[in-house]
Amino acid sequence: MERVTERLIQFDLARTTVRELNQYLHQQLPAESTPGGIPQLAILNPNGQHNIAVGVTVPAKIDIQGNAGYFIGGMNKLADLVVHGHVGWSVAENIMSGSLRVKGSASECAAASGHGGLVVIEGDASSRCGISMKGCDIVVGGDVGHMSAFMAQAGSLVICGDAGPNLGDSLYEAVIYVRGTIHSLGTDAQEEPLQASDIEHLTAILKRAEFDYSPQEFKRVASAKTLYHWHVDAGAKY
């Protein structure tokens, strides 16, 4: 660790380990935090390493300066993270609050089981983006892969590009907005008219995500709710 200024702390992962970084974030950083003060951390040379900045529980601004691997920023609470590159599987997995922005693209299962907060992927996201999301908001600047928002329970997935096959399969109460084309919808997902509340929500979330699109350009996809109850006559279809 190198403290460049009183407010900026640098970790060079070419010289220190991810374990040491996370131990600092879990133990020392909360002890050093002061009311009204938001520490800033720069993480250098991530070089595709996994589990960087997992489980942060205090307000902080964390910049990861390069491409990173799996499970980046998982279980985040209160911190604002930016990855200046691409990420692997399950970025922002189980995010609780705060935000995580990926300047590049993301691999599978981005923001899986996210409970809250905002996840922004400026490029594309691969398959199962938003799988089992439970209340977070996800905005993808490009396209998403197949089975995105699979079993999504709450929150919003905003797709500014195209959506791959089986979008929203087995949706619960989450809502998906798609600006581009939809390859196909999954089981129990259906397209619905945009409502005034959708326009209001999209206006706010696109502004937070820093995308300059008109809400009226998006299509709304939500659950038809036919899977909520067991139908004995349709048992063979489940």
pLDDT band per the 50, 70, 90 thresholds, residue 233 = low
Q: How far apart are CA 218 and CA 234, in angstroms?
A: 33
**Residue 134 near residue 117, CB atoms below 8 Å:** no
Q: Residue 5: which pLDDT band, with cuts at 50, 70 and 90?
A: low
**What is the average pLDDT across 16-42?**
90
Q: What are the pLDDT digits (tens) for 162-218?
A: 999 999 999 999 999 999 999 999 999 999 999 999 999 999 999 999 999 999 999
For residue 228, what pLDDT is reported? 74
**pLDDT at position 1:** 64
Confidence (pLDDT) at 196: 97
From residue 27, alpha-carbon distances to 24, 41, 74, 190 in Å are 5, 15, 17, 46
pTM above 0.85, yes or no: yes
> Alpha carbon 150 to chain centroid distance?
14
Residue 2 pLDDT grade (very low, low, confident, very high; cuts 50, 70, 90): low
Task: Assess whether pLDDT exceeds 80 at residue 20.
Answer: yes
pLDDT tens digits for range 48-67 = 999 999 999 999 999 999 99
pLDDT at position 8 is 87
pLDDT of res. 213: 97
Band of residue 32 on the pLDDT scale cut at 50, 70, 90: confident
Sheet holding 80-83, edge to edge: 2-3, 8-12, 40-44, 61-65, 80-83, 99-102, 118-121, 134-140, 154-159, 175-178, 219-223, 189-192
Q: What is the pLDDT of residues 96-132, one digit of tens each?
A: 999 999 999 999 999 999 999 999 999 999 999 999 9
DSSP 106: B
Which three-class secondary structure state does DSSP give residue 149?
Answer: coil
Given pLDDT bands bounded at 50, 70 and 90, which one contains residue 33?
confident
